[in-house]
Structure 1
């Protein structure tokens, strides 16, 4: 009996889009000092050092820095989020479709990802109208998986396309962490998130068409840390989405690292020695340093991850897709493999193995 060949799912293109406002970290520090002017001076100096040492040189935002540090209601900020997310989502999807010479009506499955605001209908409904997607396109909005959701979207797209040969999928991630900034929250979680986060949008086009080119997805899985829902996320308050960020996240990641990486690779028939490229989500300087040290033991580097953090900050779910775009633009040899990895609320790790 002839064995049936598995349907390959390939990444056809990755694109990004940035909001209009951009500031160097050095230009934001005076605003931070003004914001914290009534606080203890030692506390203010500590926060300034967090900004200076965050390994983020600049970040983009949907609002001007002055507006970010102004007193506004949750409703007002969320309305800005809704308006700008629609623009960014439409623009990044159009731009990425153009890269592939795909028509919008050729998309069979659309996944939209965002956790930094609230909108119903979700972004995908507006994209269907803005770009005239076909009437029977399958929608999947992913709204509550935080930084991990970019990789989650790749996993969902892979599963759909693997079961549906000859189809196309679009994954659109649009995030605005600045819309969640809490002006009256002086917790260290709010300080750290303000220092590392920025806004941005990304799009990945995937296909199960037999003639497609681009890296194929070998497999994708999720790893859930037990009893860790308190480590990362948002509390919904009268002032908006309040950041939850446990300082023990890097060490918890380190303790689970062997279970996150090796069984997943083994399941897909490879070892860490056979992985040529690491496409890791830059959650923040400490997480990057932790994962860099863990992979460094195997002679691997995450230089592209560090560069994305420096140039854009952590844009939640979209950030790992910025790292992926850098690899899509490289001249990578056939047969080489890449491990895509991100962490997010739950607490969980999301993993995808690519082969060029």
Structure 2
């Protein structure tokens, strides 16, 4: 069985509060005929604070898609290494122990993928497999976990590193004035997350099965329009109503393993918004506190896209679980796609450091420390990776 180990999560130092978001909407869209509706919808998200990869004044400008994407690449290269370093350390593996890297992001684009840069610069083996996922949006966190699980089942004993890098604020479009876009401007935040799935040993969520489900006829409900100015996010008001289709799919996955989706010990659910969490609670017949880690992530960070499930899982690690606790993890996004998995909590003394758990032994190596970025220094938050220095 494969074990999903403790995630590492980084958020930028720049923040914007709910009240600042509302004041900004009033100032920028004073003449918008649906401003009262937009303000009410933003309040209803319950997002108290979001983190932005650039200061707010810079975020509100639009220097062009090319400039934004250059910034995405530069900032990802500056920030990803520390998050990866902490995830590897938490799993007690090294870069040389990793057989595959799954990298997910829907907020910037590179070719070759960032995995190539990571292999070249961060000490991974040159035969490390690369699985970049760019078009599943918020569902990509769950998809990455499931694809890592598939790989570990196909190649027993292998280890997979998962990285999610989401700078949603780089998709801000000042000229998009539809209600869905304005709501998104008050919902999404920025974050980077990483976690290791170990093919043997480890402590965390030992996966027993996974599944994907596409809600028919909804492929344009969560979408990008790609224009000269970049990615323009489109969100249909019918999206929250899809939980009545997704909940039975989660039931089916649980039943296939002899479990009851309404009676599990923990739930790690993508926090796309409060309505999604509330509706899914109702359909699964679980109390609101069952999704407490997802709700806390939404409140403190906003919707951080594919990184949500990792932050919610990090909070579950911090709270702790007894061995044998059974749970579910699920991500939702464009398609509309649901990616879900089941697992039991394991406390393992099989964790080791210095040698691979896969098919080939290797000497331990340290990830090289990248040059310090010259933009600005940051003060780590309680949820930022340790030993970050000023990077």
Q: Are residues 1:140 and 2:117 paired?
A: no
Name the SS of the counterpart of 1:196 in structure 2.
coil
Out of 302, 306, 312, the position equivalent to 1:323 is 312
Residues 299 and 144 of structure 1: CA distance in aligned 2, closer, same or farther (over 3 Å):
closer
Q: Tell me how far apart the structure 2 counterparts of residues 107 and 81 of structure 1 sit (CA, whole Å).
A: 25
**What residue is the counterpart of 1:4 in the other structure?**
none
Q: Which residue is equivalent to 1:284?
A: 273
Which structure dedicates a bigger proportion of its chain to helix? Answer: 1
Structure 1 residues 134-165: Cα deviation after superposition (integer angstroms, max 9, x where no partner): 11111100100010000100111011111222
Judge conservation of contact 1:148–1:350 (CA < 8 Å) in 2: yes
Bigger shift: 8-17 or 287-296?
Answer: 287-296
Q: Among residues 202, 207, 216, which one is paired with 1:217 in the alignment? A: 207
**Residues 19 and 62, structure 1, Cα contact 8 Å, conserved in 2:** yes
Computed over aligned residues only, the root mean square deviation of the Cα atoms, in angstroms, reads: 1.8
SS at match of 1:53: helix
Q: Which residue of 1 aligns with 2:6?
A: 13
Among candidates 236, 257, 269, match of residue 268 of structure 1: 257
Map Cα deviations across residues 234-262 of structure 1 (whole Å, 9 max, x no partner): 110121111111101111222x1442121
Q: How does 1:40-119 map to 2 (within 5 A)?
A: 40=32, 42-119=33-110
Unaligned runs of 5+ in 2: 346-391
Determine which of 276, 287, 292 is the counterpart of 1:303.
292
The answer as to whether partners of 1:89 and 1:123 remain within 8 angstroms in 2 is no
Q: Deviations over 1:12-70 (max 9, x none)?
A: 22111112312222233333333224x33x53343333333321011111111111212
Superposition pairs of residues 93-242 of structure 1, within 5 angstroms: 93-209=84-200, 211-242=201-232
Contact residue 13 and residue 328 of structure 1 kept, 8 A: yes
Q: Which has the higher contact order (CA 8 A, sep 6+)?
A: 2
What is the aligned residue count? Answer: 345
**CA shift for structure 1 position 91:** 2.0
Q: Please give the TM-score of this superposition, normalised by the length of structure 1.
A: 0.92
Query: Retained in 1: the 8 A contact 2:215–2:246?
Result: no
